[in-house]
Amino acid sequence: MSIPGSDRRKACESLQVCTGDITRLAVDAIVNAANTSLLGGGGVDGAIHRAAGPELLALTRTMGGCPTGEARITPGFHLPAKWIIHTVGPVWRGGEEGEPALLRRAYENSLKLAAEQGVKRIAFPAISTGVYGYPLRQATLIAVSTALEYAHDFDAIIFCCFTEAVAVRYRAIIAELCP
């Protein structure tokens, strides 16, 4: 989708990159890179379940899971963030099995759900780029380009990178898409 000049600039200004633990962010919503069971796991999912507390698992047990590319919302419980948006990115299987479309849908559905809930500041981890093995540059291009399409609904879309190396990659892609 092409975005007109001044809207594009505004969209670009709402993108932020930070380094650190997403569970510490006092934003309206953080996004969880979950699995289809929604019952927790390793990586950012494990960190979010630990920080939110056992109430989160008690709730997600009742939710019936979440297909790849879709998103579900829960309260943040003990997190500083008010909401958690749980989405499931694709496992990387070489790129010919619909992975790019599924990763884009995970970002889109998370952003749509957040906007419906009145979320203005949202933080994303680098979905699918850990255990699920999605190549970082390709995943980052999808994350940033999708965020730009939905940025008009938000004050801030924050890419919370666990390492500085990932943050460097995000800044480079943002510089490419927001010259």
Binding site for ligand AR6 (CB under 6 A): 21-23, 33-35, 41-45, 47, 89, 125-132, 160, 162, 166
> Catalytic residue among 7, 45, 153, 155, which?
45
45 counts as catalytic = yes
For the CB of residue 75, give the shortest distance to ligand AR6 in the complex, in Å.
Answer: 19
DSSP string covering the chain: ----HHHHHHHHHTEEEEES-GGG--SSEEEEE--TT-S--SHHHHHHHHHH-HHHHHHHTTTT---TT-EEEEE-TTSSSSEEEEE-PPPPSSS-SSHHHHHHHHHHHHHHHHHHTT--EEEE--TTSSTT---HHHHHHHHHHHHHHHGGG-SEEEEEESSHHHHHHHHHHHHHH--
Nearer to ligand AR6, 44 or 122 (CB): 44
For the CB of residue 117, give the shortest distance to ligand AR6 in the complex, in Å.
Answer: 21
For the CB of residue 58, give the shortest distance to ligand AR6 in the complex, in Å.
Answer: 17
Catalytic residues: 45
